[in-house]
């Protein structure tokens, strides 16, 4: 059943909030407005006193499949996504094997589609040894690429400057955006070894092993090459005031450089390392203080195009080691929208920022818009109905991850994801999964 009518809701778009009905037939929005007839639909959903948002497009998830299923898997991860109001995910390529050619991309797509509770798109990875695969991966359906400039899960090497130049030339030619994990590899190695030699293991030392300099140096390298090669760069998980300033400078140079940050960078603080220890070890680090304040201010002012979860699960064993040995990352796809709604309902940022940052812009940047990321005739019938008068209790029982590892457990967040609709299918009803597994593989829309 993919024919339904959502009535009496307050529709939240980046342009404003509208009192509209929404009609979905065969999974596609066919009409928005007031007093729409229910003819042809099989279900009418009353959204009175609720907000209706476009389904969230989380552009930054590591669902760990294939090859790393001992950490988590796509079935758990996509259930968590849909329960949290995320209807589309962009899955990153540092799995085993990495997605470094068209065959591996299509093999991964087939594997994930059999387990998908959400719609999903895929990134390819680029490095010195596979730059010639760029065009074939686009043809196979990649919506973009990921380049790792620093050490990360999967140990994918950073590209040389000449390869980086070629990547951005191809980005310009094919109109494809490239995501960057922007931390300089050699500087990370230098500072990590320097700090480890002190013999200390306090968790907050992670911030000194990866200081803002490693972000800034990497961003300015990417920006200077992009200025001359052309292309479209997207800096993910921006963690510092210094990185914000570097991106501003690049934009002054005329570089097409967009930016993402993640909730943990502007919600958690340096003191949280004492409580959570290596659980909140992520790359780049959570810095707190002036960085946290600057990130939140930049979100409100419109500096950031997107906010992603950087969902990156690991096992309890991997997260319980010392700060030097523990794996970096924690799961976050299920709490992405609830955390942002809580900020909006507490007056920290406008509610209309959420569809722009979590749906519209991710879809536009990665060639999924206007099918995804909005509510308009012709778009996918992906809707999230929010009850603003209820609360989301973040508990282990509520989380759908394989391992319930989250620093947000215990929070009571204002607002609650009541219903979630994916291409007209009700996949969450009154906060509970309906069990419908209807996710599909999405290819980029030709612009």
The string of pLDDT tens digits covering residues 394-412 is 999 999 999 999 999 999 9
List where CATH 3.20.20.140 sits in the chain.
Answer: 56-365
List, for residues 191-242, the tens digit of each pLDDT value: 999 999 999 889 999 999 999 999 999 999 999 999 999 999 999 999 999 9
**Is 428 in a helix, a strand, or coil?**
strand
Question: For residues 158 and 167, is the Cβ–Cβ distance under 8 A?
Answer: no
Cα–Cα distance measured from residue 414 to residue 353, given in angstroms and rounded to the nearest whole number = 17
d(C-alpha 64, C-alpha 442), whole Å: 18
**Beta strand ranges found along 262-330 (DSSP E):** 306-307
Domain spanning 4-52+378-433 has what CATH number? 2.30.40.10
pLDDT of residue 224: 98
Per-residue pLDDT of 350-397, as tens digits, reads 999 999 999 999 999 999 999 999 999 999 999 999 999 999 999 999
Q: Which tokens go with 225?
A: 């090459």
Instruction: For Cα atoms 271, 276, 282, give the angle at the middle one, nearest 5 degrees.
Output: 90
Taking the whole predicted model, whether its pTM rises above 0.95 is answered as yes
C-alpha–C-alpha distance, residues 334 and 417, integer Å: 11
- Does 3.40.50.450 match the CATH number of domain 56-365? no
Phi, psi dihedrals of residue 412, rounded to the nearest 5°: -115, 105
Percentages of the chain per state (helix, strand, coil), in multiples of 5: 35, 25, 45
Q: Is the pLDDT of residue 1 over 80?
A: no
User: Do residues 141 and 122 touch, judged by C-beta distance below 8 A?
Assistant: yes
- Which residues does 193 contact at the CB level (< 8 Å), separation at least 6? none
Mean per-residue pLDDT of the chain: 97
Looking at the chain, which residues constitute the CATH 2.30.40.10 domain(s)?
4-52+378-433
The per-residue pLDDT for 415 is: 98
Pairing between β-strand 86-91 and β-strand 56-61 as defined by DSSP bridges? parallel
Summarised one tens digit per residue, pLDDT across range 164-197 is: 999 999 999 999 999 999 999 999 999 999 999 9
Place of tokens 């591996």: 104
Q: Is the pLDDT of residue 447 over 70?
A: no
Q: Output the CA torsion sign for 135, 140, 143, 147.
A: negative
Helix (H) or strand (E) segment spanning residue 169:
helix 161-174
């Amino acid at each position: 059943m993919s024919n339904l009518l959502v009535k009496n809701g307050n529709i939240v778009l980046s342009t404003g909030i509208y009192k509209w009905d929404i009609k979905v037939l065969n999974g596609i929005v066919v009409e928005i407005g007031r007093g729409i007839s229910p003819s042809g639909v099989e279900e009418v959903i009353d959204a009175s006193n609720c907000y209706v948002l476009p389904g969230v497009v989380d552009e930054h998830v590591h669902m760990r499949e294939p090859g790393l299923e001992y950490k988590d898997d796509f079935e758990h991860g996509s259930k968590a996504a849909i329960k949290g109001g995320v209807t589309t995910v962009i899955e990153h390529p540092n799995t085993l094997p990495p997605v470094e050619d068209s065959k591996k991309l299509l093999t991964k797509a087939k594997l994930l589609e059999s387990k998908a509770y959400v719609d999903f798109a895929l990134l390819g990875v680029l490095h010195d040894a596979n730059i010639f695969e760029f065009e074939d991966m686009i043809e196979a359906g990649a919506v973009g690429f990921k380049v790792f400039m620093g050490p990360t899960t999967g140990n994918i090497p950073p590209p040389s400057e000449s390869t980086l130049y070629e990547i951005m030339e191809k980005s310009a030619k094919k109109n494809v955006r490239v995501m960057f994990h922007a931390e300089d590899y050699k500087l990370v190695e230098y500072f990590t070894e320097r700090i480890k030699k002190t013999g200390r293991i306090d968790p907050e030392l992670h911030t000194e092993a990866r200081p803002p300099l490693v972000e800034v140096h990497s961003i300015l390298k990417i920006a200077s090459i992009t200025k001359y090669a052309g292309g479209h760069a997207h800096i993910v998980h921006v963690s510092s005031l210094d990185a914000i300033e570097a991106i501003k400078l690049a934009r002054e140079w005329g570089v097409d450089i967009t930016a993402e940050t993640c909730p943990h960078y502007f919600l958690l603080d340096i003191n949280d390392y004492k409580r959570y220890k290596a659980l909140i070890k992520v790359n780049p680090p959570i810095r707190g203080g002036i960085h946290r304040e600057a990130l939140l201010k930049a979100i409100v002012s419109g500096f950031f195009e997107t906010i992603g979860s950087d969902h990156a699960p690991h096992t309890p064993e991997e997260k319980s080691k010392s700060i030097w040995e523990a794996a970096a990352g924690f799961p976050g796809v299920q709490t992405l929208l609830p955390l942002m709604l809580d900020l909006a309902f507490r007056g920290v940022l406008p509610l209309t920022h959420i569809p722009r940052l979590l749906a519209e812009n991710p879809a536009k940047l990665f060639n999924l818009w206007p099918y995804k990321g909005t509510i308009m005739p012709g778009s996918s019938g992906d809707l999230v109905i929010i009850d603003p008068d209820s609360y989301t209790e973040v508990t282990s029982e509520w989380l759908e991850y394989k391992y319930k590892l989250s620093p947000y457990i215990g929070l009571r967040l204002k607002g609650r994801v009541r219903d979630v609709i994916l291409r007209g299918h009700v996949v969450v009803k009154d906060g509970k999964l309906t069990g419908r597994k209807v996710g599909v593989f999405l290819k980029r829309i030709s612009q």
